[in-house]
Structure 1
């Protein structure tokens, strides 16, 4: 009796959750008529059919199909599986390879013809649906209603029209949030920075638009894309639609925003929704223009040696340039939600990290831990190779027996074309397994084992000292920076526990890179062999108090 798996999905845009129950009811009736055994049901709730990659149930179905857990996949229609022509073709191909039949209530058993024609129709329907949605949104805008979304400072108005249907897109001012918006504009015009404003709002416990904390970016926004408190024209009485369009990345299924030309924007005046007066708005925009006109990317200081590697040991946020030569916690600076206010000079951090690289990371304790992990990893690999070797030998024996039977049949003149094809397939599989077996034997003989120099710590310290000297020479600085950065996983910076000032540093090293750096030039392994040096790349425990 064939084993069948059901797949059902409903979209968040047009359907209700009961749609799943309706689909499963019809699928069950079909299975009962055919005498199939239902072994699994896969359902994706409130997920668009435009991209298969973002549907966990469908992905699990394909994985189970590859494992031969069922013989038939049954869905209401091809559009339930996907509206993407490429996804439909991929799903059909994968199920066919797994020798699983694909059937739908609408199309019956799905063939390549269905995939081509129906896939095209579904793709066109998806495009038509998008056009209908945009037409409806455009109509709302012309009626001075919102096309979607709820900006901070407003609330949804729930009422019925003359026909008794809900009015969609109507908004009104939220008096409490509107007062916060006026405070933000007034403080900004008075000279306060978005960071200072965000910190004050967090200190006062004012609820933010999203999340748990106000951030500078929430207030500052983006002048070109017109988002953020200070850039939202709705606050001055203008409803703007079609500033940007969204397209889906075919590789990830994620929506990517792309700015439309200004002449395509639709602007409608809604004075009843204005929160700030024109004078205050213009003053804020004048100040933003003065700052945003700077070529910030050209005035930034060059990246320092450890740029991007330093983290706050309290909140995990980045440690970034806060003033000319100092690094500080970005979260503390942006929102004040982290209490790590300690700063450290860039030069001091580099000096302490270089000192740690030279004297701490390859201490006797660290080397002993590395040796234990190395032996454990090599033992695990040995057991894996042994298990794989036995499996390969067993399969080779089966192939040899089957090949012998097929050859005998050919010699006797009783072979069919299918048997000759099977012989070719089995011989190809045998050749592949023999190559894998030879590679495994070479690895077992020590081809991939990395020998460690008995005086490795001292060689390593000399190498770091040479790199430190190379940093002072412009001709060799770039290469030295690259090598040193490869040896550091990250740097955690904590407020010093024993004082009200200063910081403690934890240096987490990339041990594989460290070992490779310390080896003589003529004996360094290639990249594929370096990874076998250590089971895990992070060095534990971290180095404290540098």
Structure 2
């Protein structure tokens, strides 16, 4: 029989098999087979090929060129008088049952299938085709199973040799490692130092785009000689091999102690918690100026309009001064709040914000793996998980699905751990008093060109601050700083230009006591005992005293303290100052 048309199909599961024993061998064997039967194969030859598609899950039948071939068979454009020549039946399908009807469907449509490796021909009118197909495919399956078992056994032996004798586990090493002449894994020093620098800068607050830009500006290339990109850095920060782990491909199980440790586990964990938090952050991240290598706005994402609650943006005037402007006023004209000068608001927040550890901010060249930093990174990661979990629960409610017990349990566990971490942080704060800002040069923190120092400041601002609100009151500006923990209220009243702080009011919880303070005067409340004591009553100004009393009036349940402040004896003492 002379075929109207001959079709040749080849397939390999891995792209690495394109040469040698893969595609080349299949094509060579098929070509020799066709040349040996010139009377049958006189018609046109059409080639079909799938690269990197497995036949175990019928990936080639679903997505590959074989799927297209089958579609032509189903439509009738390929059928009786056509031949399909393949290296082996397992190139079409790995399933051994005749009920898996891919091969059967082709044969029933009149297509003769030539298996070159056997060689046999499956034909519609041949009663032995079913038996032949079962035997050939089963043979292919058995060979694959043997290969898989051998590969698993070999993998297990390599793992044992690595763990017990320190032998090289795999020749496919990351770029910071290599094999020496004695078959030992050794470090590539220049790559290791660069990785450590990247982790230091990233955990210090620099974003991936900033680090990538800096490396490219310095002419430092990646291991492949290309420019750095943000996603390249993110991939590197996630690479478990840096802390010695091998990740199993099939189930992502971590196997420790396979590679030399480049980044210790604590720093690796902190960096990856920062990475997750950055992705989900609602506070945004400072950006580097395109024209100048400076960072203009270190409080980006924190600030809100205190009058209407809107988010803010920045704008520059004719002389280049940058202002924080309410979006409600700028975009919708629904707010009357005027803008404030960015650099002055930055100065006030940095100078007066509580809980900022200046010693850590200024030691940005050192890697911070302190207990507080580890707890803060864990807390931020947990808060992201909490937010995502709540969003999933709310989504199920909207879709009117039944409540998920697993989600509810997960949320409870997350919130329990958040509470534990916050308590641990409070203990750290008590045991490690902060260094006063007066010991440091505030101008360095406010210099836009000092990028690393400013990003270090930003890192700790993120850990401490929740929001900064500003609004006008008569001829003054009221700035309210909202913290992530411990501090109930913190209000700064400045002049109209935000150049001078006129009054400061804070309500802080420390050591189980609540401290209400303003300019040298404070009230210490012991909630458990139901008492309060005054400090500085003989020196406080009338304005500061009654300003604190008026502001405390907004705190629920503290009317009894305000009444005590208005006691005639206390008022008389203040008026006599």
Which TM-score applies when normalising by structure 1?
Answer: 0.40
Question: Which structure has more helix as a fraction of its residues?
Answer: 1
Higher RCO, 1 or 2 (CA under 8 Å, sep at least 6)?
1
Which TM-score applies when normalising by structure 2?
Answer: 0.38
Question: Which structure has more strand as a fraction of its residues?
Answer: 2
